[in-house]
Amino acid sequence: MLIFLTMIDADEDREKFISIYNNYRKLMFYIAKSILHNDQDAEDVVQEAFYKVAENISKISDPDCTKTKNFVVIIVERKALDILKCRKKTDAEYIDEVYHEGESGLDYEQILEGVSSLARCIRKLPANYREVIILKYYFGYNLKEISELLGLTLNYARQIDQRAKKRLREICKEEGYDI
């Protein structure tokens, strides 16, 4: 059953949304395009991502902070990867490889510089696993919230959470990091 509980806080939420739109639309486009390699597709994904941000606007307290930046990046990344997965019927790990080591423009080594061993291992997880770990442990969302945010069933979100931690332990073992 679809149930929505809405708080009519329209003016404040609208202002928050406008700030996010102004602050991050180019970055969101950049991320979407680095995955989809097409301007029109990237715009569609950014638009979809903004609708998702609007649905979850109450979760955002400050539009101009690192946490919000990460939040919109995760949303747009997930939307773009979902489309790519649908189109190319490829698996998440391949997509992750394309995104992070291909033409995304991100400096993979720079990202890893100065972080702990466990953080390095998290960074090596496939995108869908890493997103759930970050949403759960950095943002503090429960699996119900994560499933709604990423468009997953609750059960599937639970499975990803469990698989992500299992895979993380394996990566840590491979990297010689004792947990």
Partner 1 sequence: MTFEEHLKVAAGEVAEHMAATLPDEATIDVEFSDSFLRSMQEFIDNWDVRKKKQTYLRRHPVVRFVLIAAAIILLVFGMLMAVSPEVRAAVTGWLRQELEDSVMYKFNGPSEIESDNKNAPRFEMTWIPEGYQLYDIDKTDYSTYVYYLMGDKEITFSYTFGSESLDMYILLEDLTREQVNINGMEGEILVSDKNEESSIVIWKDNEQNILFYVDGNEEKDTLIKIAESVKLAKE
Q: How far is the CB of 161 from partner 1 (least distance, A)?
A: 11
Residues 87-126 within binding reach of partner 1 (CB under 8 A): 105-107, 110-116, 118-119, 121-123
Residues whose CB is less than 8 angstroms from the CB of residue 65 and which lie 6 or more positions away in sequence, other chains included: none
**How far apart are the C-alpha atoms of 72 and 78, rounded to whole Å?**
10
Q: How far is the CB of 47 from partner 1 (least distance, A)?
A: 6
Q: How far is CA 56 from the centre of its chain?
A: 14
56 contributes a contact to partner 1 by CB under 8 A: no
Q: How far is the CB of 45 from partner 1 (least distance, A)?
A: 11
86 contributes a contact to partner 1 by CB under 8 A: no
Q: How far is the CB of 84 from partner 1 (least distance, A)?
A: 19
DSSP letter at 176? T
43 contributes a contact to partner 1 by CB under 8 A: yes
| Residue 95 C-beta-side C-alpha neighbours within 13 Å | 24
1 contributes a contact to partner 1 by CB under 8 A: yes
Q: Is 62 exposed, middle or buried (0-12, 13-18, 19+ CB in 10 A)?
A: exposed
Residues whose CB is less than 8 angstroms from the CB of residue 10 and which lie 6 or more positions away in sequence, other chains included: none
| Residue 83 C-beta-side C-alpha neighbours within 13 Å | 20
Residue whose CB is less far from partner 1, 11 or 89: 11
Contacts with partner 1 by CB under 8 A lie at 1-11, 13-14, 17-18, 21, 23-27, 29-31, 39-40, 43, 46-47, 50-51, 54, 66-67, 69-70, 73, 105-107, 110-116, 118-119, 121-123, 130, 133-134, 136-138, 142-145, 154-155, 165, 179
